[in-house]
């Protein structure tokens, strides 16, 4: 017997950082979907937040030019001067924020910035407030640092937006961060000026609490309302606000792995230490592509947004025929967060009782051939998430399977 590839389980011991955390629910769902597809099953997947569009042509050209010009070496660890200047320009132009280069970092996706900022600032015993539903990775990253995610449920009737008095009650001397994502993955909720105002007033009273703001979906807004970000609203609090953003979603560049952020110098210095001991820098060619995405023409962003808007309508129409699903038309992002509790306790044709969201999503995946993400991974088990970053044909088929699956429950 060839024993070379047999791993003895007793030898492998994960670190303490991994004791509470595994791969994200979304990567698990992606892996199961691929497994089932390999077995010949026909599965449609409106589950992943991965734009199906190609990167804009001018951005592809910029990457090719960078390769040909020999821009294939390490760059400064927080980004080349060119990409940092592009980020600086973007923040000034679109958000009215005048960051200096030492207040800016460019990272391997926004995820690496979120990770580095927590790595650089929290320790066991610290608390991080996460309004739920929240993007899956926030709580896991916080747990990996040994800190404690404090999950603050928001209410559908408040548009899934954190209310200032709930925040006030949750803050303790151990609170280090509040993290808000607007537009929100998974609900699509957008914080307006009047939503951020009272939250910033609470934070003003608690100087130990810093504010991480994830603006990743800034360009995917379907309402006629200006996008606002807290550092713009309260310049006096900017010395404890980290504004996170990236090119993944707006420019269909998820695989290029470029995120960026602006924040106070001491924090950014600490983030640079983490980067210098982990990624060194992000891909030089992707940096050149991101600089072009931010500096160049923005018509592709408008085109994508128009397509997402159409798909959002398609999904809303299709869902309206599954009577026990409750949902709102999302104001932003390409997600819809659907309340499935009308079907809780129902029986599948195979006789399985739907006791929780995992059971529902498992039924939809294995029995109905449609992959969606359980709400518990976003801190809200009464829901599941679909993504409309997939082609219209996938969405139509996915919605049909969800409807048929729901109708078959008794």
- Looking at the Cβ atoms of 137 and 348, the one nearer to ligand PMP is 137
- Looking at the Cβ atoms of 181 and 232, the one nearer to ligand PMP is 181
With residue 213 as reference, give the H or E element that holds it. strand 210-214
Of 66-74, 108-116, 281-289, 396-404, the segment contacting ligand PMP by CB under 6 A is: 108-116
Closest approach, Cβ 322 to ligand PMP, in A, equals 25
C-alpha angle 391-392-396 in degrees, rounded to nearest 5:
125
Asked if 214 interacts with ligand PMP (CB under 6 A), we say: yes
Residue 241 · residue 211 · CB < 8 Å: yes
Asked if 259 interacts with ligand PMP (CB under 6 A), we say: yes
Residue whose Cβ sits closest to ligand PMP: 109
Of 103-111, 229-237, 343-351, 390-398, the segment contacting ligand PMP by CB under 6 A is: 103-111
Closest approach, Cβ 316 to ligand PMP, in A, equals 21
- Sorted by sequence, the CB contacts under 8 Å of residue 145 that are 6+ apart come out as 17, 118, 119, 122, 123, 124, 126
Closest approach, Cβ 215 to ligand PMP, in A, equals 9
Asked if 181 interacts with ligand PMP (CB under 6 A), we say: yes
b/e per residue 222-233 (b: at least 16 CB within 10 A): beeeebbbbbbb
Asked if 332 interacts with ligand PMP (CB under 6 A), we say: no
Residues paired with residue 128 on neighbouring β-strands, in sequence order: 149, 177
Closest approach, Cβ 282 to ligand PMP, in A, equals 10
Residue 290 · residue 244 · CB < 8 Å: no
DSSP label at 353?
A: B
Closest approach, Cβ 321 to ligand PMP, in A, equals 28
Closest approach, Cβ 404 to ligand PMP, in A, equals 29
Which of 91, 94, 93 lies closest to 105, judged by CA? 91
Asked if 261 interacts with ligand PMP (CB under 6 A), we say: no
Which 9-38 positions form the footprint of ligand PMP (CB under 6 A)?
A: none
Structure tokens at 367: 């029995």
Q: How many helices (H) and strands (E) does the chain have?
A: 13, 10
- Sorted by sequence, the CB contacts under 8 Å of residue 398 that are 6+ apart come out as 44, 45, 46, 370, 372, 386, 390
Which 229-248 positions form the footprint of ligand PMP (CB under 6 A)?
A: 246, 248
Query: Contacts with ligand PMP: how many residues (CB under 6 A)?
Result: 13
Determine which residue in the list 187, 232, 254, 380 makes contact with ligand PMP, applying CB under 6 A.
254
Report d(CA 389, CA 307) in Å as an integer: 9
Q: Where on the chain is the footprint of ligand PMP (CB under 6 A)?
A: 49, 109-111, 135, 181, 185, 214, 216, 246, 248, 254, 259
């Amino acid at each position: 017997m060839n024993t070379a590839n047999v791993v003895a389980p007793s030898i492998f011991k994960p670190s303490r950082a991994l004791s509470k955390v595994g791969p994200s629910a979304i990567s698990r769902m992606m892996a199961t979907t691929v497994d089932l597809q390999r077995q010949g099953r026909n599965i449609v997947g409106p589950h992943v937040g991965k734009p199906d569009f190609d990167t804009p042509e001018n951005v592809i050209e910029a990457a090719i030019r960078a390769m040909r010009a020999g821009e294939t070496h390490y760059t400064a660890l927080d980004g080349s001067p060119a990409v940092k200047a592009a980020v600086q320009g973007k923040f000034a132009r679109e958000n009215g924020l005048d960051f200096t280069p030492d207040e800016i970092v460019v990272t391997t996706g926004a995820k690496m910035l979120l990770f580095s900022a927590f790595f650089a600032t929290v320790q066991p015993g610290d608390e991080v407030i996460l309004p739920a539903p929240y993007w899956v990775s926030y709580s896991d990253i916080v747990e990996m640092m040994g800190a404690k995610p404090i999950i603050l449920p928001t209410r559908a009737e408040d548009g899934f937006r954190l209310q200032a008095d709930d925040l006030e009650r949750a803050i303790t001397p151990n609170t280090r961060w509040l993290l808000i994502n607007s537009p929100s993955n998974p609900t699509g909720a957008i914080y307006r000026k009047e939503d951020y105002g009272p939250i910033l007033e609470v934070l003003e009273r608690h100087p130990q609490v810093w504010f991480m703001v994830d603006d990743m979906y800034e360009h995917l807004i379907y309402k006629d309302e200006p996008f606002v970000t807290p550092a713009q609203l309260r310049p006096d609090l900017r010395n404890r606000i980290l504004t996170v953003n990236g090119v993944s979603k707006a420019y269909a560049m998820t695989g290029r792995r470029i995120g960026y952020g602006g924040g106070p110098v001491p924090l950014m210095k600490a983030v640079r230490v983490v980067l210098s001991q982990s990624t060194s820098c992000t891909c030089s060619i992707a940096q050149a592509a991101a600089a072009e995405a931010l500096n160049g023409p923005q018509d592709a962003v408008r085109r994508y947004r128009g397509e997402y808007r159409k798909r959002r309508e398609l999904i809303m129409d299709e869902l309206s025929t599954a009577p026990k699903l409750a949902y709102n038309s999302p104001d932003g992002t390409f997600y819809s967060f659907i309340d499935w509790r009308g079907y809780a306790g129902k029986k599948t044709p195979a006789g399985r009782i739907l006791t929780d969201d995992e059971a529902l999503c498992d039924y939809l995946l294995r029995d109905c051939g449609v992959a969606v993400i359980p709400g518990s991974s976003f801190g809200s088990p009464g829901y599941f998430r679909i993504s409309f970053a997939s082609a219209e044909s996938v969405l139509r088929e996915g919605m049909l399977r969800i409807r048929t699956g729901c109708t078959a429950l008794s």
